Chains A and B, each alone.
Chain A
């Protein structure tokens, strides 16, 4: 397993290099705006724009810029500084990361705790009214866009009914700390975002779990378990669910990886200053170093969690060996 992990980690570096290169090229071929002009303010003189370009290194050919970027990144783990405010990209990302992790990991627990049991119950009671109702509702939540669901939830539960507190507006989140430094204050405000973000995932996982379990329950080894005279509960949980839940680990790693790269919509609707918002704002401002930083970090989470999934799989399924 050791050599396998090392090989995968090396591949991860190659992949991240390729991704950074693609991001760079896209940015140069299709820039959203000229960062120097944006930085120069209103009605800038051409001299000012030129001098800004020189300071930021934008006057050099893009392969030189890319090379310098790589040099800093590889030798100093330095993601550069923002084109717009000179703040270190690394600092900004690490500043935003806890909010995104808190949102994504919290939502993950919510969707697992809701989706998996519903999927199991639906499979056991296949074809009953409860099953149909659960799967119908699931379809509804899969189809509902997260920004719409978020706005509806905000309208219903925080404005009208006032059960959940929300972050008041721009800049209100950081003053209360984050989920990890100030859980008692932040967690209640995260309930709604968790539920909204988890809704479609819970629905997808419930349907997936149901389908898996139904398939597993027709396997020969389930018949054997019953032929042994085990209680039906044991047959379902120990023999059925144990098999049916394994593929869930695969999609879970992928989903969590994607969310850790930034849940842009949920972060926007609920005013959470996470990675997704940072990436979105930096694209608007044509702030390449931050775009690069957030893209690389998102890619890292996806690739790394995929590796984790593959390693975990070897423990879950004894037939898998590397």
Chain B
């Protein structure tokens, strides 16, 4: 059986006055029915653009060039007409966004906005759509849903708004929910509630989820598999556990070392990733992470690495020119709190540039 969603060598670039911005530069991934995939990366890594493209939302920008393949239940979405895609959106595939206040229309009642979604795809009466909206509001844990139906978005708290967005997104029983930074605009305690809700709904409704975030802690909560994106590419992809226990890409190490950990001494310093995300108009030669990579060697600036399975785990792929053995040795040091500079003194990297 075909996977629910299959993305093959997707490339999205936007024409601007300064040149083409290669926001997504050849990514491939699959999502099975009922599975949860996390896409992690910093701002501008192409994680949102790739999902917006799945939804067909990048078509509205007017300056996007899209190549590759997106198959949803075997059906090609890039070749689909605008109307075919529209019928899929909010119905088979739905999406929730980062800031639930600006994502809900300020002039319409929350319940009405859910009803609108129901009636866009199902020919049901207003009363039936209203019942469905109330049912959804109850499902996502909004108290007194009959009364809250008539509230305006600004009368909700941040967490309630995101719950309402989730209710709206799930109103038509979609097979796939794309959650684009669903907790970024929320307080930490509310974040946990929303993630718990997503995880719970995924189990209960058997909806597949693509969770996009810059926060590894968030994906750890909800997803089964994680893809790490950098500069429009997937640089590492694996089951959840290996990503945290045995990451193989220097960028993933950087992400992991830049968040606080409970198992390291309290005075342990966080290590930020030096430099800034690369230009997507003129990306660096070779591996696009090499200008920021402490372990880069001459080859990194010339060779463009592709995703390859790592030693000993066929389901774990990474795009790095360092030998797997060297990477595992380096991570062994970093995981114990050793700083990158110190790790470099003890581990010999063949052909190191610095």
Contact = CB atoms under 8 A, between A and B. Distances in A.
A229 B57 contact: no
A228 B57 contact: no
A318 interface: yes
A175 to B, nearest CB: 49
A92 interface: no
A230 B104 CA distance: 14
B89 interface: yes
Given A227-B94, A229-B87, A229-B90, A243 B103 contact: no
Contact of A221 (B60, B91, B103, B120): B103
Contacts of B60: 226
B88 interface: yes
B57 A227 contact: yes
A243 B104 CA distance: 12
B82 to A, nearest CB: 8
B105 interface: yes
A94 B159 CA distance: 58
Interface string A246-274: 00000000000000000000000000000
B86 interface: yes
Interface in A299-322: 316-319
Centre residue among B94, B97, B107 by max chain A CB count within 10 A: B107
A221 B102 contact: yes
Contacts of A224: 97, 103-105, 165
Nearest to B152: A318
A319 B97 contact: no
Nearest to B102: A220
A230 B120 contact: yes
B57 A220 contact: no
Interface in B85-122: 86-91, 94-95, 97, 99, 102-107, 116-117, 120-121
Contacts of A223: 57, 97, 103
A225 B105 CA distance: 9
Interface in B41-76: 55, 57, 60
A225 B89 CA distance: 10
A238 to B, nearest CB: 8
B320 interface: no
Interface string B3-35: 000000000000000000000000000000000
Contact of A228 (B82, B99, B120, B154): B120
Given A228-B90, A228-B120, A230-B116, A239 B105 contact: yes
A250 B77 CA distance: 44
A7 interface: no
A221 B86 contact: no
A318 B106 CA distance: 8
Contacts of A319: 106, 152, 154
Contacts of B99: 220
B86 to A, nearest CB: 5
Contact of A229 (B97, B104, B120, B152): B120
B40 interface: no
B226 interface: no
Nearest to B165: A224
B287 interface: no
Interface in A168-226: 219-221, 223-226
B219 interface: no
Contact of B91 (A226, A229, A239, A316): A229
B290 to A, nearest CB: 35
B89 A227 contact: yes
A229 B117 CA distance: 8
B114 to A, nearest CB: 9
Contacts of B121: 229
A318 B155 CA distance: 10
Contacts of A219: 102
A13 B60 CA distance: 52
A227 B105 contact: no
A242 B107 contact: yes
A229 B95 CA distance: 11
B168 interface: yes
A42 interface: no
B106 A317 contact: yes
A231 interface: yes
Given A221-B102, A221-B105, A226 B57 contact: yes
Interface in B111-136: 116-117, 120-121
Contacts of B106: 221, 243, 317-319
Nearest to B154: A319
Nearest to A318: B152
Contacts of B154: 318-319
Contacts of A230: 86, 90, 116, 120
Contacts of A229: 86-91, 117, 120-121
Nearest to B118: A228
Contacts of B102: 219-221
A232 B60 CA distance: 10
B103 A231 contact: no
B98 to A, nearest CB: 8
B107 A243 contact: yes
Contacts of A242: 105, 107
A318 B116 CA distance: 19
Nearest to B88: A229
Contacts of A316: 107
Contacts of A317: 106-107
A271 to B, nearest CB: 45
A228 B116 CA distance: 8
6 contacts: A221-B103, A223-B97, A226-B60, A229-B90, A243-B105, A318-B152
Interface of B: 55, 57, 60, 82, 86-91, 94-95, 97, 99, 102-107, 116-117, 120-121, 152, 154, 165, 168
Given A229-B91, A232-B82, A232-B86, 6 more contacts: A224-B104, A228-B90, A229-B87, A230-B90, A230-B116, A239-B105
Closest 6 CB pairs of A and B: A229-B90, A229-B89, A228-B90, A220-B102, A221-B105, A220-B103
